[in-house]
Amino acid sequence: MFRKLYRNLKEKMMKFSQKISLAVAISGLLTLGLLTNTASASHSWGKYHWARTANPFALNLGDNLTAADWKLYLATTSSDWSTSVSPVRTTVVGGQSNKRCSAVSGTTQVCNGTYGNNGWLGLASINITGGVHITQGTAKMNDTYFNKAYYNNPNEKLHVMCQEVAHTFGLGHQSEDGSSQNSCMDYFSNTGANATSTQSTKPNAHDFEQLTSIYAHLDSTTTVSASPTSSAANPSEGVDSDNPNSWGVLRSQTASGRGSYYLAQNRDGSLTVTHVFWTEEKAAKCPSCDHRFD
């Protein structure tokens, strides 16, 4: 009888111990970030943010665009990101950059052009001081591909415009596996069979939650230009995106090969961080390659 009681008690203790071990393991995985929930996942771009002394803050988007449809997509993007729940309120102003889309201090400059068969659809660059503070940004759309039938549709253009501009706020991607989170901060492709889909062409609620988190604190100084007529162009620092060698070191790349992040050290001690959104065909050629050289 005592032997049977001992055996039953031992079995119960083993089951209890297994439950405790499983709970500890799950807790550890959550702590390490190996188990995540898409809805609550962080998608800030590093800890990069504009320094500012109040929320919401105003950010000028310089319109250097040469086509009416791109101007429309920029206006739509500006409106979509500047809702009452957003800490970032953008205003489209006259472009202050040049043909190369050089950065202008305190602003984001937005450009389009036939930048060549280099494999990228969209490119966003931000200059960083103090390790985290954005001082200027650029967003470029490559008409070499957008002039082709496969990419030349309103939904793909709006998706890429919305995403590249938002990278200059300090936002990263919600998803990088090609699925739609119904956010422009994913890698869903509004091409081919999805060309008529309006999914992933606007920010969603989680994007604004992330922006609120990024800009939860205030700074003692500001890196945002107060004047839309400022002409403080800074071509000597920052990425010349026409020259991929200036992007610096490849820091990370998505498993699909669609997105790459590069980091360059500037002479004045600042950093330039560049996000490159590659074409589908470029990524498919060699997903793990640095596409500058494949």
- The domain segmentation of the chain, as residue ranges, is 1-35, 46-285
- Mean pLDDT value across the chain: 86
Mean pLDDT of 68-83: 98
pLDDT of 176 reads 83
d(CA 140, CA 160): 9
Q: Which two tokens stand for residue 100?
A: 């190369």
pTM for this one? 0.83
pLDDT of 32 reads 36
Q: Are strands 49-50 and 259-265 parallel, antiparallel or unpaired?
A: unpaired
Q: Which fold has domain 46-285?
A: Collagenase (Catalytic Domain) (3.40.390)
pLDDT digits (tens, 9 = 90+) for 189-200: 999 999 999 999
With cut-offs at 50, 70 and 90, classify the pLDDT of residue 175.
confident
Mean pLDDT of 203-217: 96
With cut-offs at 50, 70 and 90, classify the pLDDT of residue 240.
low
Mean pLDDT of 21-46: 47
pLDDT of 31 reads 36
Give the rounded percent of residues in the chain with a pLDDT score beyond 90.
74
Give the rounded percent of residues in the chain with a pLDDT score beyond 70.
81
User: What are the backbone angles phi and psi of residue 188, rounded to the nearest 5°?
Assistant: -60, 140
d(CA 32, CA 208): 25
Residue 201 predicted with pLDDT over 60: yes
pLDDT of 8 reads 55
171-202: burial string, b at 16+ Cβ within 10 Å, e else: bbbbbbeeebbbbbbbbbbbbeebbebebbbb
Mean pLDDT of 186-215: 96
Mean pLDDT of 104-128: 96
d(CA 102, CA 235): 5
pLDDT of 178 reads 86
With cut-offs at 50, 70 and 90, classify the pLDDT of residue 44.
confident
d(CA 58, CA 92): 11
pLDDT of 228 reads 53
With cut-offs at 50, 70 and 90, classify the pLDDT of residue 11.
low
pLDDT digits (tens, 9 = 90+) for 149-172: 999 999 999 999 999 999 999 999
With cut-offs at 50, 70 and 90, classify the pLDDT of residue 34.
very low
Mean pLDDT of 176-189: 92
Site of tokens 């990101």? 81
Give whole-number Cα distances, 55 to 2, 43, 185, in Å: 71, 20, 23
User: What are the backbone angles phi and psi of residue 20, rounded to the nearest 5°?
Assistant: -65, -45
